[in-house]
Chain A
């Protein structure tokens, strides 16, 4: 992941109001150099929330005409879990053809890519990018950035859920014992290989624990996860870590020196 993207995700993480999410969509649009980028949430009771870079005229027309009912992106991504290239959707109905023409005229772009997210209690959200590009270039773009875009999508959704739900602040998800162990050793400067060996895990298993911890901490990468784990008190560094039970490489040598 590029440094800039990490910075954008860190900014997103700091957001306390939905208006800050809007700023983040603009920053990410510029980062990826696409025509538009947006996050769109629909709750089970039909409540909508969105932010994105589309023109105000287009958004107004979309809402006034209730396009959420005919938009093939919404219809096609609802009940899906996987990232969807807009080309894969069904644009064959008459309303869909008219909608597509209008959208392109409004500058949305001729290509699009959406990541559906299904949240708690029937919440549904979409993270979408759109652009003017050839099929070939768009396929290159989405394939190159797929993993990072999935991460962005989930970061937006977690933040939106957190802000929406701030009367009942989401408790910091507790890290499991294994996750704490892994982050602690990584924070102590061990390589992944050393951590895996110390904890008697395969490197694949170690990776799953890191991924899981990273998600719980809403961290954009492993270093970020470690930093958050330390700052939120999930893991303790320094003397306390040395006093921790268990065997770690060089422990005897350090203890002997002390």
Chain B
């Protein structure tokens, strides 16, 4: 199931949190060879994990981590603005309606349905929080995954070549995407809204369809 947890809530889910930070070390340090810091516990954590971000996490039936991503509003500190601004010719993306999404991570045994479920989680917080777009950093290997789950971003800027290519992407929420991503995730709309309501107390939107 999808969990929506702020950093300060992770303590209540020790197994989920433990496996998430280890899976991040496995993905970003071991598989992608990114220059990330891994602590003595084997956790990959950075300065933005200390900002009490919102994590969207796929929790496996045994309570462990299946995949996750991390969200922060762009009105505060963000990785894109602090470290990747040069990829956008010095631009900073800042708006109360645009959030940053980073550390898109899948555990070794995850599949494309989990990836789609994470994107679904992003769409649900978009609907619920009044967010219209997300920015984030991604590398060349993610291009195929995003295409597979129907969530290819617009590219704001890139650096490097081939497999080492790193880009800043922009995702725009569209109600039509939600239906497509629900199908890819194999999750019904009702169940997705139920997961959201478990975390935030109410459904992301009161009505399924609303006149503009």
Distance in angstroms between the alpha carbons of A207 and B52 in the assembled complex:
28
User: Judging by beta carbons under 8 Å apart, are A154 and B75 in contact?
Assistant: yes
Q: Interface readout for B70-109 with A: 1 if CB under 8 Å, 0 if not? A: 0111011000000000001111111111100000000000
Whether B200 lies near A140 (C-beta < 8 A) is no
Considering the complex, give the chain B residue whose CB is closest to the CB of A157. B75
A-chain residues with CB within 8 Å of residue B150 when the two chains form the complex: none
Cβ of B156 under 8 Å from chain A: yes
A87 to B200, CA, bound (A): 10
When each residue 203-244 of chain A gets 1 if its CB lies under 8 Å from chain B and 0 otherwise, what string results?
A: 011011101101110000000000000000000000000000
* In the complex, B206 has a CB within 8 A of chain A: yes
Chain B residues positioned under 8 Å from A117 (CB to CB): 75
Q: A12-20, A40-48, A76-84, A103-111: which one contacts chain B?
A: A76-84
Give chain A's interface residue range (CB within 8 Å of chain B).
35 or more
Instruction: Tell whether A202 pairs with B154 under 8 Å between CB atoms, given A79-B8, A87-B201, A150-B130.
Output: yes
Q: Name the residue on A nearest B125 (C-beta).
A: A82
Residues in A with CB closer than 8 Å to B191 are none
Known: A204-B170, A207-B133. A150 touches B97 (CB 8 A): yes
A208 and B135 contact, Cβ closer than 8 Å, known pairs A151-B96, A177-B89, A216-B94: yes
Contacts of B133 in A (CB 8 A): 204, 207-208, 211
Contact between chains at A178 and B89 (CB < 8 Å): yes
B residues near A146, Cβ cutoff 8 Å: 130
Shortest distance between the CB of A159 and any CB in chain B (Å):
14
B42 contacts chain A at the CB level, 8 A cutoff = no
CB of B118, distance to nearest CB on chain A (Å): 18
Which partner residue on chain B sits nearest A80 by CB separation?
B6
| Across-interface contacts of B75 in A (CB, < 8 A) | 117-118, 154, 215
From B75, which residue of chain A is reached at the shortest CB distance?
A154
**Out of A79, A83, A149, A178, which one reaches B91, CB within 8 Å?**
A178
Contact in complex: B96, A215 (CB < 8 Å): yes
| B143 contacts chain A at the CB level, 8 A cutoff | no
B residues 125-143 near A (Cβ < 8 Å) are 125, 128-130, 132-133, 135
Neighbouring A residues of B172 by C-beta, 8 Å: 204, 207
Knowing A81-B72, A82-B125, A140-B206 are in contact, say whether A211-B95 is a contact too (CB < 8 A): yes
Partner of A88, one of B125, B130, B201: B201
Q: Can you identify 13 A-B contacts, CB atoms within 8 angstroms?
A: A79-B8, A80-B6, A82-B129, A83-B130, A154-B75, A176-B90, A179-B91, A204-B154, A208-B95, A211-B133, A212-B91, A212-B98, A216-B94
